[in-house]
Amino acid sequence: MSTTRNVAVIVGSPRKESLNRKVAQALIGIAPTNLKLTIIDIADLPHFSQDWEADPPQNVIDFRARIKPADAVLFVTPEYNRSVPGVLKNAIDIASRPYGEGVWLGKPGAIISASPGPTGGFGAAHHLRQVAAAVGLAILPQPEVYLGGVDKLIDDAGKLDERSEKFLGKFLAAFAQWIDRNAQT
């Protein structure tokens, strides 16, 4: 039996009825027993400012403190105008500072993008890969996950269809192996 890994799940949408949040919640239900997935909220974080980066508001301190001990990070995000939603980029920036004290550095990570549209948030996922590299996250190369037509893949009760559940189950198994290979502890 392998070590249990704590995965911080960051949802890129602040929307109450977010499809991406529903996907993240469904993943919690199908994750292998050695992956403990916890959604970390980012919606209430302030806009990042270098004015307070060394002496930040309490919710920023709390956010950094929740990411720091995580063994890995999983992003589940929509695409806004072919890129990452500002709220997600803001959260990444917040936890990347002060310079040299970023809490993302060296952690294994993975990206899922999802959209009701046909391209499944491909543009957001690839911009996010670029940002993740800048903050030192080691992002799982394969399988890539772009969930197009996601509104049809998940029902009102938050259950994924069988095909998606199978595919995302394989993704989570690959992610668990990736975490074991790249874990810091």
Ligand X SMILES: Cc1cc2nc3c(=O)[nH]c(=O)nc-3n(C[C@H](O)[C@H](O)[C@H](O)COP(=O)(O)O)c2cc1C
Rule CB under 6 A: which residues touch ligand X?
Answer: 13, 15, 18-20, 78-82, 115-117, 119, 121
| 33-46 per-residue burial string, b: 16 or more CB within 10 A, e: under 16 | eebebebbebeebe
The total number of residues written for the chain in this structure: 185
Closest CB to ligand X among 10 and 176?
Answer: 10
- Shortest distance, CB of residue 148 to ligand X, whole angstroms? 8
Q: What is the DSSP annotation of 166-181?
A: HHHHHHHHHHHHHHHH
- Shortest distance, CB of residue 8 to ligand X, whole angstroms? 18
- Shortest distance, CB of residue 87 to ligand X, whole angstroms? 10
Ramachandran area for residue 58 (φ above 0: left; ψ -120 to 50: alpha; else beta) = alpha
Closest CB to ligand X among 15 and 181?
Answer: 15
Q: Where are the alpha helices (DSSP H) in the chain?
A: 19-30, 58-67, 86-94, 122-134, 162-182
Closest CB to ligand X among 75 and 178?
Answer: 75
Residue 28 and residue 22: Cα distance in Å, rounded?
10
Closest CB to ligand X among 90 and 119?
Answer: 119
3-state secondary structure of 95: coil
- Shortest distance, CB of residue 120 to ligand X, whole angstroms? 7
- Shortest distance, CB of residue 11 to ligand X, whole angstroms? 7
Closest CB to ligand X among 82 and 170?
Answer: 82
